[in-house]
Structure formats: C-alpha cells, structure tokens
Structure 1
C-alpha cells in the first residue's frame, strides 16, 4: 500500500495554498446573476441550490482539515455581472485587506473588444491582480466541436486572441478553462504566444469518461504539457455525464501528475462549487494520495510542498516564501499586498 502521509514533525502543519476558489457575499456590492437570479440551465454539476448563499474567507478556512494550514489562496473570478468585473476586483482586494486572504486575484476582461485593454489596466491598480480567466466559445459535446471552430470568440478568432497579447504585455497570466475536447486546439493557439504564462483549470475537464473521451483528454494534456509555460490545477473532476467516482478520479489525478510533473501541478479546490460533489477534506486527500503514489519515496515531501504550496507561489507570483528552493523565481516584483 502506498504511504500517503506527509512527513512533517507531529507539531507542524503542512502549509497549503489553495490556487482556485471563489468568494461571494450576495449583499448587493457585486452582482452574480447565476447565483441571485434564476438558476442557469444545464449547470455542469447539476442542481447548485446549495451554493446559492454567501461564501467568504471564514467559510473557506473552516473547511481546511486538521494537519494543514491555509497560508495563501488565489481567488478566481466568480462569474460576476460582466460590467462589474472591476468592481469584483476591488471587492476582493478589500477582503484581502480585512482577512489576509486571498493572496491573489484572477479577474475577467472582455477579450475581443475595444474595452479589454482599459479593463486590464484598471484592474492592475490592485496589488492582487495577476491575470484573467476569459473563456473562449466552446462546444457542448465532443461530437459538436467542429461547429464552433473559427467562429467569433473561439480559440481560432484572431480578434478574441488579441486578449492574450494584452496579457503578455502586462505580465499577466491566463487561466485557461475549456473542456477536454478543446485542449489540443488551445495548445495550437498558444504556439503563437510564446512566454505567456498559462494555468489550465480543473485538470483539463475530462468530462467524457468513455475510452474515446479519455484518449482525447490525454492527447490534449500531453500537447499542452509540451509548452513549458503551461501549468495545471489539480481541481474539479466533477462531470455532467458521470457519477462521482473517487477511485477513477484518483487515477486521473495520477495521470495529470505524470504528464505535467509535480513542478507544474497546483492544488486547487474550486470551492464552494466542488462542494456539490465532494468535501474539502476528501478532495485534499485525493490530491495528496495521488502525489504520494506518483512520487518516489525520497522525493515525496518535496512533491507535497511543490504541489500544495510552492507552485502557486511561482505561477501566481505570490509574496510568500517558498518551502523548497530551486532555480525558478518564486516571488513577483510587486510585493505590496494589503
């Protein structure tokens, strides 16, 4: 049996950085139509009534199990009303000033529009702002993928992709979120943007768990892994077409770690959304179990520290000291945080 224990002194907790979570107050300061108005149809995890309530830093901290210390976090835009993207960034910055977390914010900007550059510049006023998550148009199923190839706002749309140039010019990163059947397309698009820092969301979203679907996911993950500027978040393995399967999801996490290596994988919870399918503690246990299975015994603690802590510092340029030290820079030039 694989030893999944983290080798620290009994009195020490494992430092943890959650590289992808959401916050919302639902108090009128920032509007979230998908939470406050009518529910969206076909939400990928089904009925999400349980998360249509405030979720703030204190709620996140309460979820972290004994043996771990949440020392940093990255907030990802939470589908706020699109005209309020800058307001969401300001609100998150205020929350960090009050609570000490999050450590960084991934916002949103309207790729493919004249407003994009100004939206990015306005959000750069926040010391927490590190990049954006802007989603291209994607197909609902692998069988319909070709129907969106080359359309407006797709990965083949030059005007939409100008947003990637704007990010690179500002030393901002792109959080890439597409289902698995678009991963190879994303890898092709990124060949035109060398040096752009990209963090793939949600383990590449392997929603289609058929043999053909998983083969497509693996091909896309390998294509993206060939780009040294792409990392991946070990997060969100819920799927709209299959029941939650902890054993299968453990194996998928092991595959991600094998493909990208422990230096380019980040622990992330996607809470509170992932809480619809799994508890925070159980998700963390799945990730640590996968790390333990894929790392050699003498490298296991280094891999734990990298995936659970250090990699988020590197990829999101956090002003937090790393545990393990290697040749990569671990802190961003902008050190001022609230």
Structure 2
C-alpha cells in the first residue's frame, strides 16, 4: 500500500523547503506554520503526565548463540511514536522500534533465515519501514516493509555475512526518521557464536536536533534547519543524556571479559569511541577475524556498528566518551562501574613528598 498522498507531498515540501533556505538565514531558524507531515512532531503536552523514558538499559542483550546449524529466527518490531524525556526537564517526540532508543539488539547466526515482522499501530501518525544493513537486497528491506498506521509487513532474508550492522527506518526522508530515534543493531555471529564473554552490553550513540537550545526545558520539536546544518543540540548514548550515568550505569567485576556492541545511529555525526582508562583488546567493525588489536580510540561512522572487547583489570569508574570531547557537555557520557580487589601491581597513586597527604 502506497503512503497517503498528503504525507508524500508533506515530506517533499519539508525537504525542498529546508534545502532551499540557507541554515544561516532568519527563515531557517524562525518558527513557521507546520506542514501536515510536521504537525505530529510538535505535540501538545498533557498536564500532569508521568515521565516517560525511551532510554535503553545497555545490559538488555539477548543470550549468546551456541548452536552451529542455521535456523529460522523470527523478530517482531512495533513502531512506537511517543513523547518522552531526552534530558532532565526536556521532552521530545521520539519515533522508536519497540519503544526504546536504540531498538532491540537482534542476534542471529551466519546462514540463518531471518523473518522480520514490522507493525505500525493505528494510533501512530506516520508511515515507517526498516532498512537492515545486514540484508543483501534492495533497500536493505525498506522497499518491502513500508507500513502505514494500522498495517503490518514481513521481510524474510538470509544472513550471509558476519559482523555488527545498523538497522534504521528509511521511509522518506530517511534522515528525519533516524533523527527521531529509529535505529538499532543486528549482529550476525559466526557458526557456533562469538567466543564467550563474562559481560555483554549494547550502546548506540545518536544526536538530537531540538527547536530550543541545549538545556532549555520543556517540550521540544524537531528542527529541520539545525539537522541540515549538522548542528545538534544534544548527543546521547541510548536515547537520554543520563542513560548510562544516572539511569543504567554498566556494572562489571575485575577480571571479567567484556564485550560491547556499539553503533552510531546518527544521522549525521560519527563517534570517536573511547573508554577513559581502558585499551580495547579487540575491535572489529566487520568479520570477527579482521579485528584490530590494542586500540585506544576507534572511529565508528554514522550508520555503522562495531564490537569492542576488553578485560576490566583495575576497579573503579570508567567513562565512555566520544573523544570529540566537547560533546560531553551536550550529554554524551556513560559509566562502567568495575568492582573488585585493588591491583597496586598495575595501578596506584603515590602522594608527592611534602604534599601533606
């Protein structure tokens, strides 16, 4: 079923207008009457409504694969359009897969037949679809999964190549749907699965283009001019400025082998991913056998994913950052809290002589 004619016209007007107006002009930043397609991005808050979160717990990871024979894996994804908290006191009209940013981690094995069921509930306002970068086929599946509100579609594909891949909505204009929060990671593991790890976490970086400046409270709408100028107001891990600090800090113990599935939804800005005080034993952006060893900071482009592995050897708090470090001031930081015995053979501080401490 084709999307409603008014919706297609609305998207075209949105893209054409934004492209035609320079981002530095007064028209680009001033408020204007929304098109029908934009109207749902400027929702009216409900007085007294409880706080809603789309932030995803990084420890919410499906179990590892241990089988060696391909099978059929079925995944159900439901589009949720929801007004939720982006930062303390700041609300935003997110579009999501299954109500979280990022959407669920999808875990399959090389050779599996993957069946994706995508549902767009009737209470939603916009058509959506899904493009999985692990798919070999037109549009990564987007060409056969477009769903208007009240519709469902099914995509079946063969997982051919190992690695971690981004998935996202690609309904026109695709960057808008991504900028509203519609992305996640699909992992295609080798036969028998990845080597065992003691802890696994799932983190995706994204950026947000809000109508008001960073730190200004209240309900925000999406700002097309800022998005086209690639000037986000907020950066997050897992859909909230405090997702990995106050809400869901990651926990581990010394000596544990840690695997981190990390991606960048974007839509515009990549990540110079770094954990302060750690060196990654292995990083692989493609097949596991093509890993890079002993890496400090690794560039993950927008629309891409990688797997990071390391051992936590010294207890303490480790901070996840994008090493374009000013982004920390716009919400981009996470905590890995490591407990265990001290390791003075590896790390210790010694007071200076005469310091009085």
Query: So what's the TM-score if we normalise by structure 2?
Result: 0.26
Higher helix share: 1
Higher RCO (CA < 8 A, seq sep 6+): 1
Which has a greater percent of strand?
2
TM-score, with length taken from structure 1: 0.27
Which structure has the greater CA radius of gyration?
Answer: 2
